[in-house]
Amino acid sequence: MANLVIMPRQGQSVESCIITTWQKKKGDRVNEGDIIFSYETDKSAFDEPAQFSGVILHTFAEEGDVVDCLAPVCIIGEEGEDISSLLGQAAPAEEKKEETKAEEAAPAEKAEQAAAPEATKVEGDRLRISPRAKNLALKTGVDLSAVTPTGPHGRIIERDVNAALDAGKVGTTAAVEDFLRGIVPEKKEEAEAPASAPAAAAPFADVYAYEEVPMSNVRKVIAKSMHASLSEMAQLTLNASFDATRLLAYRKLLKERGEEMGLSKVTINDMVLFAVGRILPNFPDINANLVDGKIRRFAHANVGCAVDTDRGLLVPVITCAEKKTLAEVSADAKRLAGGAREGKLSPDEMSGGSFTVTNLGSLGVESFTPVINPPQTAILGVCCTTNRLKADGMVYPAMGLSLTFDHRAVDGAPAAKFLKELCTALESFDLLLAK
């Protein structure tokens, strides 16, 4: 009996997924448990195993297609089996897909028509060309007669010259100077071009060579979120530092003796996450989201920890951090970071955060401006330690913290108080553990 394979719903907030790879093709036989296709949400990647054995009789999507959750992806059955009823069930989805493709194709056709204007013309004694494009043309010897102008009123701009260079349209500097003076050379057949032309083009083409890499689905989501964060919020950053002597001493003790107590590999970042979890409940407008003009104050400190992955920046969330021990926070942070890098976290594990911590200290960054993760109202940046002098001449390791907050929801004084209390807690981390 033939069966529909549908796109799973990975988390309540996920509406669609993108098919990245078909591991099995139409006509292939699959056994129960075989991976049929791989797909990703805006934050994670998954493999879809077959729930039954058979032959892939039909596919409804191609690699790179975005498929709605619970929509059909393929049909598995036996050779020669009638699947018309299943195709009928999936017809609305297929029609929607075709309409989408048609809508996307229409602008593309118009773009193709618009992309083939007439060859560059000299109007009277004046060639419409920008100063930057003119300088580049004289420097590279581009064939100006082959340049397609895309600037306003048929003007040649710098990108037009670069496009011609990429296509190998190179002549001589003298020809460029003549063309700029309004002397248009007679166009000859390409076959009559001197054999040395390709060789002359190579040096210039190499200089401006580049590779275009399409943005991944995750990168697009990050770009959209960060742009919305900076364009829609009133962001302000406060910078402070604290004496990290006792924090570093406790970290050293953990490295030397922690394994005996099950506290091995606790990092400075784990300790910061622990302190943030304890301090956040005291500042409800910072432990919050701003949604549709309303401040959503969280009952628990759900602390997001920014993780750098091959697929982009992901922010898994340590829930109820204020209730967890240092060992539990450390274990959660490592599990979530590992899952994020391997693409094995569910979207639910990366949503619901009330605050985020991002750490660039290990990369030697002394101060920076972290960007808020919408719809949160604040984010903490952790910086590296630098040696400073006290009034008595003693040198101490100062660790920097950068707090960015949304001034629409949080005023400067409460934000400064949060930062001060956090610095005090980290400065006396051994005492914080006693609370």
In the chain, the N- to C-terminal Cα span, in Å, equals: 62
Dist CA 367 CA 359 (whole Å):
11
Say how far residue 133 (Cα) sits from the centre of its chain: 33
Interacting residues of 382 by C-beta distance below 8 A, sequence separation 6+: 268, 269, 272, 357, 358, 359, 360, 361, 399, 400, 401
Question: DSSP letter at 25?
Answer: -
Task: Please say whether the beta carbons of 268 and 247 come within 8 A.
Answer: yes
Among candidate residues 166, 227, 348, 407, the one labeled active-site is 407
Is 308 an annotated catalytic residue? no
At what angle are helices 197-207 and 158-166 packed, to 10 degrees? 130
**Alpha-carbon span 210 to 200, nearest angstrom:** 19
Q: Determine phi and psi for 76, rounding to 5 degrees.
A: -115, 130
Handedness of CA 26, 32, 36, 42 (dihedral sign): positive
Cα distances (Å, whole numbers) of residue 257 to 262, 263, 265: 9, 8, 11
Among residues 28, 166, 348, 411, the one annotated as catalytic is 411
- Assess whether 153 carries a catalytic annotation: no
Contact between residue 318 and residue 302 where contact means Cβ atoms under 8 Å apart: yes
Q: How many CB atoms lie within 10 A of CB 413?
A: 8
Which positions are annotated as active-site residues?
407, 411
